[in-house]
Each structure stands twice: as C-alpha cells, then as structure tokens.
Amino acid sequence: MKRTRGLFFLLIAISGMFFACSEPAPNQLTEAEQQEGWKLLFDGTSLDGWRDYQGEGVSGPWTVEDGQLIALGKGSDGNGYLVTEDEYENFILTFDWKISEGGNSGVIYHALERPQYKVPYVTGPEYQVLDDVGFPAELEDWQLTGADYAMHVADPEKKKLMPVGKWNTSKIVFDNGHVEHWLNGEKIVEFEAWTKDWFERKNSGKWENAREYGLAHRGHFSIQDHGAKTWYRNMKVKELPRKPQKFDLFNGKDLSGWEVYGTEKWYVADGELVCESGPDEAYGYLATQRYFNDFDLSVKFLQEANGNSGIFFRSFIEDKVKISGWQVEVAPPGHDSGGIYESYGRGWLHQIPEDKEGFLKMGEWNTMRIKVQGDEVNTWLNGELMTSLKDDLIGSASGRIALQIHSGGGIKVRWKDLVVQEL
C-alpha cells in the first residue's frame, strides 16, 4: 500500500513538473507567435524600446525587476508616462498586469506627441487599469478596469477581475476602427471608432474640449504611473493590415462629417459647399472630423471672388482658428495654387514655377488632386503636376483635411466632388 501511495505522489509531482515546464516563460515569444508576427514590447530585462512621453530616455518612476516592468507609484496625472519608441496603427496588444491596493494605472494607444500636449491621455484612448474594489474614491462606471476611459463602459457581467496582487491578462484589439477590450479571456468592451455614436460620446463628455482626442489612426502605446505601484509583463503586439476606404467627404446636403472653426461662413447652396467671408473678415476652417494620413484626394473648386483659400492636410486646430499643418494653396492667379505652405513656421516648402501659373482658371471650375503617402506629397491642378516633394516632418505627422478661408474679406469659393481614397 505504501509503495502504491508513494508511486501515486511521484506521478503527481512529475505531472506538475511537466505542466509547469510546458507553460511559456514570461516575456518570451513561442515559435508559433514569432511565425504569426508577434513582437515583444518589453523584453523582461530592460527598458529598451521605451522612453518618457515627449522625452528621450527614461527619467520617470519606472524600473525592471524579476522580469516585470514596474511603476513605482511616484507618478501623477501630469507625469510618469512611458511611451513606446515605435508607433502602431492596427494591432492586437496583450499584456499581464497586477496592481497595488487602491491603485490606478492604464494603457493608452494611438498616443500622439505634440508640444501642445502635456499628457498622452488627451490624445489617445485608454484601457483602464484599476483596483475597482479598494480605490479610495467614488468611481464612475467608465473609470473601472477594462473600460475605454470616459467613453465605453466594460460589461460587468463578463468582467472577471483578479484580486489585488494577482495577475490579470488583458487584450486590446484595434482593427481599422473596430475596437475590443478583453480581460482574463472575456470580451468586455466592443465598439466602432469614428462613428456618429463615437463622436456623440466624445463631444458630450470628458473630451468635449479635447479636440484631437481619439482621432489618430496611429500612435504610441503609453503606460501610466498614476501614483500607485503597478506591475506589467508579457507585453506583446501583433500588427494588423490596413484596410483603406473611400469617402465622399461632402454629401451635397449639409456639413455632416465636418467641424467649423472661426466665424466665417460655411454653408451648402445648390448642392455645393460654399465658403464666404463673414463680418469679422478673419481666418476660418472647415475640418474633417476624421484624420486622414495616407490618401488620394480629388476636389473641384470655383473661385467666385478673390479665391484666397486652401486645402490643409495632416493638420490639427490648436486653439480657436490657429492651425498646425500643411496647406495646398488655392489662391488667385499668380499666387502659387498647388504649392505647399507650412503653418508650423517654415512657410513655403514649394512654390510653383511661373510657367505653371496659367493652369488655374479663375471664375471656372478647377480640379485639385492631392496625394499624400508617407513623407511624399504630390499635387495636380487640372491634371498638371504642380508639386512633388518629400519631407520628414510631414512623414511623421497625423491629422485632418481642412478647407481654409483666408483673412481679409471679400472671398467666396465654391467646392464640390470632394472624394478621398485612403492608401
């Protein structure tokens, strides 16, 4: 009997060793994962591939210990953010995490770095990481673990959150605007980005005054030290392919899909989009709600009066009508229609040759085509190539398409057939 019992316990021990050895070690990719295109964001031994938000190197409250990326709990709402050096567009991200009692952290994606922003969460969505039970303040549902912070609530019936100090496994899927949040094997959030419902949520809650929040198609991952010790490991990402779409930017009826900035006039008449100087005779913009990074845009315009306008790309509105980005010039004859002007400070990047000024037909319909891909920009006016340039700053930017009306008054331009093909 004793021999049988001893053999029984020996078999259990061997079985336990077998299953323990069969589990993949933390912060490593299996052969199958490597073949599927997975990549480690954290190697388990260093902070390689990470740096401070808006910085170089890591100076914040983060360390690596025992194969874990640890937030030391010395950060706050205004600091303590790590970002990946690389940017990601469509992806599946998985990560393990555990948090200290009363703790708060988060994983942000599509985070943008611009001098105007002090923190990444005003630019990109956040998968909330929290001690739901012991947090020392009253919480809204959109603040709890797994929520798309301040936008979409996690399904409480499907959420299986481990106790403080125990490991959880989370997953974020972003597939060309289709978004999923997972927690411990259960899908707890699912939505479509940039839909009517999405914009209604964005414009009626916490992000009402954060104009560029959540619009980026690509950006950095960021993790947050929000004053509580938090542990991360097994951070893995698999990139998904882009699925380009075609958009009619103007429906011929109203300004759906656009946002007006400034006091100048933007309206629809006879199925055409019209911009006209208002009483303030100031700058004005009509910007797409969506970002368009790589695209081929075709638009027709007719300059009824003066015609000093333009088409901005990869641009964003900083404050009121202050815009940052690049403009394809639409101007009266002799003023470089089809050239590229930068509002960041460098001014003209390309002015068209004198012998091409005659391609603009004042008082008639013209066709402008703009192709932006990576760091390369090409423009055509009525089928004639006007600009071809490459620029690193353009290549690293994200933003909207926007129509401009120049200051000074007396301007009226008609637009139609605004069609954009993503690339």
> pTM for this structure?
0.90
Predicted pLDDT of residue 14: 46
Domain check: are 90 and 211 in the same one? yes
Residue 375 lies in a domain: yes
**pLDDT band, very low/low/confident/very high, at 248 (cuts 50, 70, 90):** very high
For residues 200 and 306, membership in a common domain is answered with no
Q: Is the pLDDT of residue 6 over 70?
A: no
Segment 409-420 shows an average pLDDT of 96
96 shares its domain with 220: yes
Residue whose pair of structure tokens reads 């394809």 in the numeric block: 328
| pLDDT bucket at 86, cuts 50 / 70 / 90 | very high
| Same-domain pairing of 197 and 261 | no
User: CA 401 to CA 403: how far, in whole Å?
Assistant: 7
In this structure, the answer to whether residues 295 and 219 fall within a common structural domain is no
168/164 Cα distance (integer angstroms): 10
Q: Mean pLDDT across the stretch 207-222?
A: 96
- Please check whether residue 231 lies inside any domain of the structure: yes
Q: Average of pLDDT values for 30-56?
A: 96
In a domain, 85, yes or no: yes
CA 155 to chain centre: 24
CA 140 centroid distance within chain = 25
- State the pLDDT confidence band at 2, using cuts at 50, 70 and 90: very low
Task: Provide the domain count of the chain.
Answer: 2
Give me the CATH number covering residue 38.
2.60.120.560
- Looking at the DSSP bridge assignments, the partners of residue 177 are none
Tokens of 276: 């006209």
> Are 119 and 195 in the same domain?
yes
| Phi, psi dihedrals of residue 357, rounded to the nearest 5° | -65, -25
Cα separation, 52 vs 55, in Å, equals 5
**CA angle, residues 142, 165, 72, in degrees to nearest 5:** 80
In a domain, 215, yes or no: yes
CA distance 406 to 320: 15
Print the domain residue range for 381: 246-422
Report the mean per-residue pLDDT for the chain: 93
In angstroms, the CA 356 to CA 316 distance is 30
Per-residue pLDDT, averaged over 209-219, amounts to: 95
Q: Which of 214, 239, 264 is the last residue of a domain?
A: 239
Residues 6+ positions from 217 with CB-CB distance below 8 Å: 89, 110, 291, 293, 398
156 with 125, same domain: the answer is yes
More confident: 16 or 272? 272
Q: What is the mean pLDDT of residues 18-35?
A: 77
User: Left if phi > 0, otherwise alpha if psi is -120 to 50, otherwise beta: which for 308?
Assistant: beta
Per-residue pLDDT, 345: 85
pLDDT band at 18 (very low <50, low <70, confident <90, very high): very low
- Cβ–Cβ < 8 Å for 248, 231: no
Average pLDDT (133-142) is 93
| Average pLDDT for 11-26 | 52
Question: Residue range 60-74: average pLDDT?
Answer: 95
Mean pLDDT of 304-322: 91
pLDDT of 319: 82
> Is 342 found in the same domain as 205?
no
Q: Model confidence over 102-123: pLDDT tens digits? A: 999 999 999 999 999 999 999 9
Say if residue 253 is in the same domain as residue 163: no
Q: How far apart are CA 44 and CA 26, in angstroms?
A: 8
Asked if residue 108 belongs to a domain, the reply is yes
Q: Who's near 262: CB < 8 A, 6+ residues apart? A: 280, 282, 283, 284, 285, 320, 321, 405
What is the secondary structure of 69-134 as a DSSP string?
EEEES--BTTB-EEEESS-BSSEEEEEEEEE-TT-EEEEEEEE---TT-SSGGGTS-EEEEE-TTT
156-178 pLDDT, tens digit each: 999 999 999 999 999 999 999 99
* Predicted local distance difference test score (pLDDT) of residue 11: 42
pLDDT of residue 33: 95
State percent of the chain over pLDDT 70: 94
**Which of 205, 223, 239 delimits the end of a domain?**
239
Residues 344 and 214 in one domain: no
Residue 66 lies in a domain: yes
Q: Which of 239, 273, 292 is the C-terminal boundary of a domain?
A: 239
Whether residue 262 sits in one domain with residue 136: no
Q: What is the model's pLDDT at position 392?
A: 97
Helix or strand or coil: residue 136? coil
What token pair was written down for 149? 């912070």
CB-neighbour burial class of residue 6 (10 A; exposed 0-12, middle 13-18, buried 19+): exposed
Residue 405 has pLDDT above 50, yes or no: yes
- Two tokens at 127? 């998968």
Domain membership flag for residue 172: yes
pLDDT, one tens digit per residue, over 250-270 is 999 999 999 999 999 999 999
User: Strand, coil or helix: what is 196?
Assistant: helix
**C-alpha distances in Å from residue 259, one per residue of 284, 288, 318, 320, 328:** 11, 6, 14, 12, 19
Q: Give the model's pLDDT for residue 23.
A: 59
Q: Is residue 22 part of a domain?
A: no
User: Do 265 and 397 belong together in one domain?
Assistant: yes
